[in-house]
Amino acid sequence: MSKEKNELPSSSAGKMEKIVSLCKRRGFVFPGSEIYGGLANSWDFGPLGVELKNNIKNVWWKRFVQQRDDMVGIDASLIMNTKVWENSGHLKEFSDPLVECDKCKRRFRADHIDSDYEKNKKFNKNIKCPDCKGNLSEPRQFNLMLKTFIGPAEEKANVAYFRPETAQAMFVDFKNVLNTTRRKLPFGIAQIGKAFRNEVTPGNFIFRTREFEQMEIEYFIPKPMEDNEWQSVFNYWQKEMWSWCTENLGLKKENLGECECEAQNRAHYSKKTIDIEYNYPFGKSELYGLAYRTDFDLKNHFPDSPYEDAEAKEKFYPHVIEPTFGVDRSVLAVLLDAYTEEKDRVVLKIKPSLAPYKIAVFPLLRNKPELVKKAKEIFDVLKMNYMCEFDDNGNIGKRYRRQDEIGTPYCVTVDFDSLNDKAVTVRDRDTMKQERIAISELAKYFEEKLKN
């Protein structure tokens, strides 16, 4: 719900450019369809990016599904029956106000360039095109649903939509989940998956794209008799989200903030929304959202309540608190937060649990077969438990710098002494300290070091 500024202030633009360049150079994120001239605002996660992204998703699933006894997961279809979107209100309400420049024809979100738009419900006519100073049109509502057709005939009856949020499947599947898991309130359904929005102004790298991924929870609670009943659950999830940001993603508290959305800015289904914000180089903007969706969605999909309290033999519609987390914005925040320039190196001080590679293994010299053989043996053992990289290219200093730049927490070097003392040098990314560890102890050493 928040509004980012589209232009970057020059000092911070530098940081964003550095991240975009590092991502491309080292294989985190590539421009999509690049060899065909690209496709605006589409990005591909490369070999390191997919590891980082999977680590974020796995840690999230572990924390919010595996380690809780009040949560189950689903993985639903991307394309759902069109009635889902009619009944959820998305076909009517899921839109942004759009203005168009009469000169350069660029389009902008009215609420992004007129900060009083939502308050006044009117676009300030004195505002000109941010690019060419041309005149802007009256705002018109632009639906964000991405359309397609199912089957060979492109006709109205075959129109379908890519989901704009993963949430609706948790409501539509509510009864099936209930019947198969025999859950009692309160409990949650979680899902990780792609969502699509025909955004008016995508941009800022992977911050706003038309295809992105969400990690969402619909947490169902009994129908509240008083406001404090849902408010206490809301406050609980607000704390959980903060704790996820600082403990699991390792984001610095000073880069995080939150803001409650005013009524006119809230999504059509929400009674209260809080945005968890991150201080991106282009300004503070939404990282995640937390909304109280009431019983709006279940009521829309089920004419008769799907839930019955077994003891009270009472039927009612559960209410819902929804914590929602963007995967791509998590990746961006983690990269920005971890990016550190020191005197003679760039380091991604990423949490080891999220780092694409946990350990890099080097033979001191690539042309000494006995060193290469030993290093390969160590690599082959460690790779069974951790994502590891084998690197024998260039001098050791250069190899350390390469691993620092992609956030590898530990480097293991096999040198000539290793052949006699059966030990290796382990170097720590953050402290740059080196210690000698017996090869036979390495598995235990890393088990301890990488346990979180």
Binding site for ligand ATP (CB under 6 A): 1-2, 165, 197, 199, 208-209, 212, 214, 286-289, 324, 326, 328-329
Closest CA to 206 of 327, 23, 328, 32: 328
Specify the residue, 141 or 228, whose C-beta has the smaller distance to ligand ATP.
141
- Which 3 state secondary structure label does DSSP give 66? helix
CA distance readout (Å), 434 to 199, 256, 419: 49, 34, 18
Least distance to ligand ATP, CB of residue 208, Å: 4
Other CB atoms within 10 Å distance of the CB of residue 376: 15
Least distance to ligand ATP, CB of residue 293, Å: 11
Least distance to ligand ATP, CB of residue 214, Å: 5
Specify the residue, 74 or 346, whose C-beta has the smaller distance to ligand ATP.
74
Specify the residue, 168 or 214, whose C-beta has the smaller distance to ligand ATP.
214
Specify the residue, 269 or 307, whose C-beta has the smaller distance to ligand ATP.
269
| CA-based radius of gyration for the chain | 25
Specify the residue, 292 or 307, whose C-beta has the smaller distance to ligand ATP.
292
Quote the tokens at residue 289: 């959202």
Specify the residue, 51 or 165, whose C-beta has the smaller distance to ligand ATP.
165
The amino acid occupying position 113 is I
Least distance to ligand ATP, CB of residue 158, Å: 26
Least distance to ligand ATP, CB of residue 289, Å: 3
Q: Which residue is nearest to ligand ATP (CB)?
A: 326
Closest CA to 82 of 193, 171, 158: 158
Specify the residue, 168 or 408, whose C-beta has the smaller distance to ligand ATP.
168
Distance CA 278, CA 285 (A): 6
Least distance to ligand ATP, CB of residue 221, Å: 20
Specify the residue, 59 or 347, whose C-beta has the smaller distance to ligand ATP.
59
Closest CA to 16 of 249, 333, 349, 245: 333
Least distance to ligand ATP, CB of residue 153, Å: 30
Distance CA 206, CA 381 (A): 36
Peptide bond preceding 186: is omega within 30 degrees of 0, i.e. cis? yes
| DSSP string over 221-281 | EPPPSSHHHHHHHHHHHHHHHHHIIIIIS---GGGEEEEEPPGGGS-TT-SEEEEEEEEET
Least distance to ligand ATP, CB of residue 205, Å: 10
